[in-house]
Structures are given as C-alpha cells and as structure tokens.
Amino acid sequence: MSRKQQLLKRHRRNKRIGLLIALMLLIAIGVLVAWWLPLVLAVLGWIAHEAWFADHLFYSSQDDYQYSFPPYTPQPKIHLDGERLRLDEGVMLVDDATLILALRVKSTWLGRFIDPVVELLGGDSPDRQTFERGVNGLRYLNLSGQAHVLSQGKLRLRGRFCRLLGEPVLWAFEQPDYRRQRVMVIAPHADDAELAAYGLYSQADEAWIVTLTAGEIEAEHYQQMGLNTVEAARLKGRLRAWDSIAVPRWAGVPEAHCVQLGYFCLQLAKMQAEPATPVGSREADLSDTRLFRQLNPFALPGDVDGAPTWNNLLADLRELLLRARPQVIVLPHPTLDPHPDHICAQAAVLEALSGLEWQPTTMLGYANHLHDNDRWPMGDAAHGIALPPAFDSTTPMQPCCLPMPLARQRDKAMALGMMHDLQPPMPFKRRLRRLIQWLLARRVPPVYGENEFFRKAVRRHELFWVLKHGETSVRQK
C-alpha cells in the first residue's frame, strides 16, 4: 500500500469515528432537548464540513515545512521592514533566477475559516500565494519573476488573514534557460505534460511529448452514452490517445514529435514486477497496445507484437531517446508525486537510460499530485505557486520556476480544455461543495473550466525540481 493510500485510509477511519461520535451527541440532544434540533444541527454541521473541513490535509497546518537546498546555493541577505523586503546594499539578482523566501506565516482567527494569503505588491506584476487555513509555521514563498522589483527595494509583502513573522531567508537558484534546449516531456497519461510543463514545452526550441499510457479506465462518463464497460474504456482510450498526439500541436509541437505508447492505465507497476509478462487492461479487455498507437508518426519496437510488457516499454523509450536525443527530460518527481503510474514512469526512463549511448544533461521533476495535500497548489487560478509541503530535509531539493504571463496561462487553459478527461462535469456533490466554499470560505471557482486542474495548473508559475544537472552527455551530436 502506498503512502498516499495509507494516509487516505487513516483519514477515512478518523472521519468515521468522528461521525459516530457526532451521531451519538445528536441522539442525546434529541432526547434531552428537542426532537427537531438534531436535524437542524446535522444540516448545519454538514454545511460547515463542506465549507471548512473537506480538504484532504494529512498533516498539521502548524507543522514547519522542512527543506534543505544544495550547498553553496546563494543566499542574498534580506530583511523585512514592516511590509517592505529590503536587500543588503550591493546585492544583485539575476532576472530569471528562481527566488525562494522562507519565513513564518501565522494565521489570524479568521484565517481558520478563510484561506490565508500573502500578497506580493509594489511592481507591475502583483501576486498572491495561499497557505493552509490555521497555518502557523515555516513556509516558502516563490518570488520568481520579482527580481527587478526586489532589487529596487519596492517589493512589499502583505498578509491577509495571516501575519508574517521572523527574519526571512532568501535563496537564489540560477539555472540555464531550458527553453533554448531540446526538451522531452514524459507524460504517464494524456494531459500530464500540459498540466506540468505546457509553458516550458510550448516555448522550447525543440520539444517532444511522450505519453506512456492510454488512460482508458474509469470511463463511467462514456457508459452514460449506452456503452458497456469494455466499449466505454476503449472509446476513452482512443480519445485520450488522440489528445496526446493532437493537443501539443496547439503549442506548435510537430506531430512527428508526439508519441503515444498505448500501455494500460494503472498497470505499469505489474509490468515492472514481471518485465516479460504481458499485462492487459483492467477494463478495456485488451492485451495489445496497438489500438492506441495507430496515430504515431513512426514504428517502435513494441509495435512488433503489441505486447504490454515492461521490456517493450523500455525498448520503446530507448528508441525514442536515441531518436530525439533530448538535452532536458521532464518527468514525474520520484518522491513528491505518489501516483503509481507516475512513479513507474520515472523508473522506466531511468532504466531505459542505463547504459544508453545518449544521456540528457538535465532532468526536471514535476508533481501533478501530492501525498498529503490534495488542494496544492493552494489558492486560485492565475496566482503564484509557493513550495509544496515537505517534511524530510535529509535530501537537498533544487526548485526551478518558469514564470507564466497571462497570455500563456490562457493558452495553457485552452490546451487543458481540449483534453477529454478534463471535460466531463463535476458530480453534483462537488458542485454543491464548491458553491458552499465560494459563499462561506471565499474560494473562487476557476473561470476556465469545472475540473479542479483548471485551478491547480493554470498559474503564474510552472514549478519543477532539478533532479540531474551539469553532467556531460555521451556522443552529443
């Protein structure tokens, strides 16, 4: 059982215990006070739960985030005078550096009911970054894109429903412009590349999008059209295979650089456990990947027999790596992102690279899901992305941030809107919850679409983590 599943199991157990205790109290109130009072209290309690207690937050909001960054990372001296951030005299910042500011954030009493926000003010590009309700601990703001304003001494921080405490600490991470290199994005499913890296790959000098699975399962939306489980899964897989090839064209990626490998959703771990054994689809009644590979621009080793095996996946990846020779590979982060297919996708790329004559110079990790906070990135669409919760400081982590102007955010939103898996309407319960949170907790629904990823992914930053950098590739020609 994964850590994510363990946390969910514990959360559900605690919720069942809480509901049982609440039910016993309501029965007691009905017996001792008035029969109708428990009904009123139950409705009010449910509304309160949906407004303020429905988030999956598997840690205390009063825990300090614990990060360590690579040794010798520049730490320009900085001070917080009232609301104004002030650098020591003579400190110069590189405009496109990733700037991370650590300081303590403490919510006010209203910040237990309305999301605490830190506003970045003073320049032409103000920002808002959101934290957990009831926050009281060390947090990491993302000042990337604010270097010019900060150098001029004009950047101000203002807490809404929170206070900023202590002396801040600033890190400045300088990285090459990865947009000027050959980039390959590894997407476990159609839409992962767009969610994590649309801004990067849409601006890259040369980009490749490699999608590993058809994402055919959980096709209930298509069963409503009268299809049975198998027919719905096959239709969904074909649609998402089309998405993985067609949508990157919106960003200018040539069709010849978009590849769908057609393996089956949530089956990569079984394939990895027995590399030579075919593992068929859970719902599509298929043991041949070629149905979902028909749009590929060229043949791959796995097309010979269509067998969904780990060995075929590795052969496909090696062929693609040697053909594309990417300088930068963008793939799921090995520890931040808990999705089983994302973990296996990262492992497959590393195994495919082992002993290969071509090696990338850089690997960037992304996280489209988190173990312990389903709402991250917190806050509304178009706002900035602060660093996610992290509680293991034994491994240094190096963030890399790409600012996203509003026009590119809108293009990214349109790319997500073309993805069939993000198009079905939300269930009624989630719609009602969103309405309650909008009215009582001031959470603004995303304007680009109903799916929660339109809020999470359409932001003023794309955040990556440098997993490998600076090594010389072999035979780079």
Question: Is 133 among the domain residues?
Answer: yes
Residue 24 shares a structural domain with residue 114: no
pLDDT digits (tens, 9 = 90+) for 220-256: 999 999 999 999 999 999 999 999 999 999 999 999 9
pLDDT digits (tens, 9 = 90+) for 128-141: 999 999 999 999 99
Q: What percent of the chain has pLDDT over 90?
A: 83
- From 18, 38, 53, the end of a domain falls on 53
Question: Is 321 among the domain residues?
Answer: yes
CA distance 471 to 359: 9
Confidence of residue 476 (pLDDT cuts 50, 70, 90): very low
**pTM, 2 dp:** 0.92
What is the separation of C-alpha 256 from the centre of its chain, rounded to a whole number of angstroms? 27
pLDDT digits (tens, 9 = 90+) for 461-471: 999 999 987 64
Residue 23 shares a structural domain with residue 43: yes
CA distance 440 to 47: 9
Q: What percent of the chain has pLDDT over 70?
A: 96
Question: Is 200 among the domain residues?
Answer: yes
Amino acid making up residue 157? L
Average pLDDT, the chain: 93
- From 173, 191, 211, the end of a domain falls on 173
CATH number, residue 312 = 3.40.50
- Longest CA–CA span in the chain (Å) reads 83
Residue 168 shares a structural domain with residue 192: no
The predicted pLDDT at position 11 comes to 63
pLDDT of 76 higher than 70:
yes
DSSP string, 274-293: STTS----SSS----GGGG-
The predicted pLDDT at position 31 comes to 75
Helix (H, G, I), strand (E, B) or coil at 236: helix
What is the domain extent for residue 127? 78-173
Q: Which residues, in sequence order, are bridge partners of residue 81?
A: 84
Asked if residues 100 and 173 have their Cβ atoms less than 8 Å apart, the reply is: yes
The predicted pLDDT at position 7 comes to 65
**In what side-by-side order are the strands of the sheet with 127-130?**
78-81, 84-87, 156-160, 117-121, 127-130
Q: Lowest-confidence range among 18-32, 53-67, 104-118, 311-325?
A: 18-32
Per-residue pLDDT, averaged over 61-85, amounts to 95
Confidence of residue 65 (pLDDT cuts 50, 70, 90): very high
Per-residue pLDDT, averaged over 202-230, amounts to 97
Residue 226 shares a structural domain with residue 326: yes
For residue 257 the two structure tokens come to: 């650089």
Residue 17 shares a structural domain with residue 106: no
Residue 160 shares a structural domain with residue 195: no
Question: Is 383 among the domain residues?
Answer: no
Q: Around Cβ 182, how many Cβ atoms within 10 Å?
A: 19
Q: Lowest-confidence range among 29-43, 64-78, 219-233, 413-427?
A: 29-43
